[in-house]
Amino acid sequence: MSLPRIWSRSRLAFCSSRRHFADIASRRRGIVVGLFENAEKNAPSTSDNLTAASREINERSGGTLLKQLNYTKPLKNGHQRILYGLDKSDESLVCSVVGLGKKAAGVDTSEQIHEGKDSVRRAVAAGVSALKSAGVTMIQVDSCGHPDAAAEGAVLSLHTYDKLKSVKSRDPLVRIEPLVLNGTDSPSHSWREGIVMAESQNMARTWMDMPANKLTPTEFCAQAKLLFPNALIRDTDWIREQGMLAFLAVASGSRQPPKFLEVHVEPKTVDSKDQRPVVLVGKGVTFDTGGISIKPSASMDMMRGDMGGAATVLAAAYGASKLSLKRKVIVLIPLTENMPGGNAIKPGDIVTARNGKSIKIDNTDAEGRLILADALSYADSFNPETVIDVATLTGACHIALGAAASAVFTPSDRTFNALQQAGTDAGDRFWRMPLFKHYRNKMKTSSADLCNISKPTAGAGSCTAAAFLSEFTTCDNWVHIDIAGVAGLVAPDDEIPYIKGTMTGRPTRALIKWLLSLK
């Protein structure tokens, strides 16, 4: 027999084997079930450590689940172990047992996080990721006592931005379902809420990761129209008529026309005619070169995510609209690029904002506060009960807080406390920063009412930026959230296991939880 023929037969056998295993993988079903740690360190796990679902699986397997787990050292919090052969009636079943940490863990006030929920998110994410890597495309998830957190961990862990790859290079689609067995809970409103919240955050992550040539101001508005068909898209003439000259100054260096997006979200069950709205304002710089004050080239590609504020407020409004929203919400997003074109603003230029205050522009890379200034002034026209602006505003915020928490500036104790509670529940913390008059004084200049950067003394960049914004709103219940540290534009130094990749979409879920808490 000739060599070419032997090679041909071997190749046929290999291809046939590969198709066989691919067929098995396509039919494979995975489940994720939980295991709490034993109170006694290094003691073997017992049925008392199992969730209702894992206990049922253990009984069906004749105790095999616990036997296999106890062959090795105890399962750590947030880790997982894959087990096979637990269901003789379904040999394709693959089980990931995940470590949930302490049983009945609650809020850790010093860490400002719900330990029980965040442990579930981390553990379920580890289990789902492991099953996906094993080729499983249908995964059923144990609620582990917190159905919303389990759904969030599963869905957030599966996100990847690969839409621009060739089809064959993309990750396979994985279906997530709640695991319902005898004696376990059926799918609940809490599970659905977790799915909506996680999908909303993934939506924000997708927008932030889209390259700037694909997500222009015009395209962002088109994306918004798909979610909110009644969205209002304002053009350059309307922006000029409104006197938003600070916004137009930033847009002047780009060939992409600026847009001002306005979305009104009505609650489903409450008459909102006489209700003062909540206004969410998002920074929508779809790419930030820094303008004439150009940024260094290293990592400038990450500036495609400088519209993270816009992405999170739009995604949060959408998520809340799909759940039990009781308060009218208005979303305002100024959208532009910051480019060094021939018409670009120059250091030293002076422009007048919508509220009549003049601004000297000493650094064109401090552009986010300029477009937000006009948007905040416009927000006043709705007589809002609360105004929250969200922005990837200052690198100083990442230096101050890293990726551990979003910085919050507000004169309102009540609103901060409500946000803090929402962040604790979502595992996405907020930390309050000062709004002293000291910082406002640093933004004054002799040739205009304000300067867009502080007097030439080092430090407090996030605080001075917030102080600048406070000059453009009359709402007593105003909140500024600087997300530059948590959004993913800078590599996080406190990586969250269930949020992989670059852009994080934070703090979308926390904002949704806060919106749902409003009466």
The CATH fold assigned to 219-517 is: Aminopeptidase (3.40.630)
Measured from the Cβ of residue 326, the count of other Cβ atoms closer than 10 Å reads 16
Taking CA atoms, 469 is separated from 169, 252, 315, 458, 479, in Å, by 45, 21, 23, 19, 10
Taking CA atoms, 126 is separated from 175, 200, 202, in Å, by 16, 21, 17
Q: Which two tokens stand for residue 497?
A: 């296991």
pLDDT in tens, the chain (519 residues): 343 443 344 444 444 444 444 444 555 799 999 999 998 888 889 999 999 999 999 999 999 999 999 998 899 999 999 999 898 778 789 999 999 999 989 999 999 999 999 999 999 999 999 999 999 999 999 999 999 999 999 999 999 999 999 999 999 999 999 999 876 666 789 999 999 999 999 999 999 999 999 999 999 999 999 999 999 999 999 999 999 999 999 999 999 999 999 999 999 876 667 789 999 999 999 999 999 999 999 989 999 999 999 999 999 999 999 999 999 999 999 999 999 999 999 999 999 999 999 999 999 999 999 999 999 999 999 999 999 999 999 999 999 999 999 999 999 999 999 999 999 999 999 999 999 999 999 999 999 999 999 987 778 999 999 999 999 999 999 999 999 999 999 866 557 899 988 899 999 999 999 999 998
pLDDT at 1 (0 to 100): 36
Which is it for the CA torsion 46, 47, 48, 52, positive or negative?
A: positive
pLDDT at 101 (0 to 100): 95
Q: Where in the chain is CATH 3.40.220.10?
A: 15-187
* Residue 266: strand, helix, or coil: coil
Q: Where in the chain is CATH 3.40.630.10?
A: 219-517
Q: Which residues are catalytic?
A: 295, 369
Measured from the Cβ of residue 49, the count of other Cβ atoms closer than 10 Å reads 23
Measured from the Cβ of residue 316, the count of other Cβ atoms closer than 10 Å reads 31
Q: Which two tokens stand for residue 351?
A: 């422009």
Residues 208 and 306 sit within 8 Å (Cβ to Cβ): no
DSSP bridge pairs for 336 = 285
Q: Which two tokens stand for residue 315?
A: 């995604």
Measured from the Cβ of residue 77, the count of other Cβ atoms closer than 10 Å reads 16
Q: Which two tokens stand for residue 213?
A: 């040539």
pLDDT at 425 (0 to 100): 98
3-state helix, strand, coil in the chain (%, to 5): 40, 20, 45
DSSP bridge pairs for 480 = 389, 409
Q: Which CATH superfamily is domain 15-187 in?
A: Leucine Aminopeptidase, subunit E, domain 1 (3.40.220.10)
Taking CA atoms, 333 is separated from 19, 118, 239, 338, 459, in Å, by 50, 31, 12, 15, 29
Amino acid at the residue 466: A
DSSP bridge pairs for 358 = 352
DSSP bridge pairs for 408 = 432, 481
